[in-house]
Amino acid sequence: MNKPMREYKIFKTDLWFGIYKKREIEGRISLWFLGWDGKRVLRKDFSKTFYHREDAMAALVIMKTKDGKEAD
């Protein structure tokens, strides 16, 4: 059985930043965005907005810590 691959990224739009977690298990890819309440949401429209990259990087560290996984 393959170990699931997790990838955390900060994405940028024209005005703001957001965070997503991409996970691949047995060839299937799921994409989850960080929501306002700290939970994962499926739609980018409902993701948390960060106006500064530093704020997004701090939230990314917290997100990785909560998951308890080491990932890129």
Write out pLDDT tens, residues 11-21.
998 889 999 99
CA–CA gap between residue 44 and residue 47 (Å, rounded):
5
**Structural domain that includes position 62:** 5-67
pLDDT by residue (tens digit) across 30-48?
A: 999 999 888 889 998 889 9
Contact 19, 48 (CB under 8 A): yes
> Which band of pLDDT confidence, cut at 50, 70 and 90, is reported for residue 5?
confident
Residues paired with residue 11 on neighbouring β-strands, in sequence order? 18
Domain for residue 60, yes or no? yes
**Residue 72 belongs to some domain of the structure:** no
Task: Answer whether 64's CB lies under 8 Å from 8's CB.
Answer: yes
Q: Confirm whether 57 is domain-assigned.
A: yes
| Residue 42 in domain | yes
Q: Total structural domains in the chain?
A: 1
Q: Judge whether 44 lies within some domain.
A: yes
Q: Are 51 and 17 in contact (CB under 8 A)?
A: yes
pLDDT given at position 65: 86
Residue 30 lies in a domain: yes
Report yes or no: 17 and 4 within 8 Å, Cβ to Cβ: no
What does pTM read for this prediction?
Answer: 0.77
Which tokens sit at 17? 């930043």
